[in-house]
């Protein structure tokens, strides 16, 4: 079998290739898709951080409620001893105090995973109203401070 070299070279020369305009269009389309994907990713990331922050606020509030339940049941511990009227008068409970008495753990910042929320500035304001033998309304105002981000209910 003999190959005709001119025929093979001629066939290769007749192959169609992409033009510069077609390549440019593909590159621009890829750039647009990448920009859209990046924007969507950062929106998703911010939303998940906000949700994590809200979950941290709820965890903080649950820790205070657990401490309150223990104090109501007559627990004799450092937290209940330092708050003998807990549930009968307004109180401010700091995260640092809950951690030191074992009711809470340090809360990782959703915005910077290398740091924790500020234990000295994070607090819950516990407000009681309608206190009677059978009725008691308690509200919890959470102020969680994690770096630059803090709860919307913080007073300062």
Total residue count of the chain as it appears in this document: 156
DSSP class per residue in 90-134: -EEEEHHHHHHTTS----B-SS-TTSB--TTT-EEEEEEES--SS
Most confident region among 8-22, 118-132, 137-151 by mean pLDDT: 137-151
Residue 103 has a pLDDT of 92
Mean pLDDT value of segment 36-58: 94
Instruction: Read off the pLDDT of residues 71-112 as tens digits, 9 standing for 90 and up.
Output: 888 878 888 888 887 767 788 999 999 999 999 999 999 988
Mean pLDDT value of segment 46-53: 94
Number of other residues whose CB lies within 10 A of the CB of residue 26: 11
Mean pLDDT value of segment 105-130: 90
CA distance 44 to 52: 12
3-state secondary structure 46-99: HHHHHHHHHHHHHHHHHHHHHHHHHHHCCCCCHHHHHCCCECCECEEEEHHHHH
Q: What phi, psi does 6 have (nearest 5°)? A: -65, -35
Residue 96 has a pLDDT of 95
pTM attached to this predicted model? 0.73
Sign of CA dihedral 43, 56, 112, 92: positive
Domain ranges of the chain: 55-150
CA distance 92 to 141: 9
């Amino acid at each position: 079998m003999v190959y005709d070299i001119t025929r093979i070279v001629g066939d290769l020369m007749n192959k169609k290739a992409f033009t510069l305009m077609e390549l440019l269009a593909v590159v621009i389309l890829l750039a647009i898709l990448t920009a859209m994907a990046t924007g969507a990713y950062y929106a998703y990331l911010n939303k998940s951080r906000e949700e994590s922050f809200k979950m941290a606020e709820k965890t903080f509030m649950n820790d205070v409620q657990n401490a309150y339940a223990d104090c109501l049941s007559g627990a004799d511990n450092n937290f209940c001893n330092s708050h003998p009227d807990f549930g009968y008068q307004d109180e401010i409970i700091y995260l640092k105090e809950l951690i030191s008495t074992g009711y809470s753990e340090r809360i990782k910042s959703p915005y910077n995973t290398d740091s924790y929320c500020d234990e000295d500035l994070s607090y819950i304001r516990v407000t009681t109203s309608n206190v009677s033998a059978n009725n008691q309304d308690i509200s919890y105002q959470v102020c969680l401070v994690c770096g630059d981000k803090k709860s919307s209910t913080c007073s300062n």
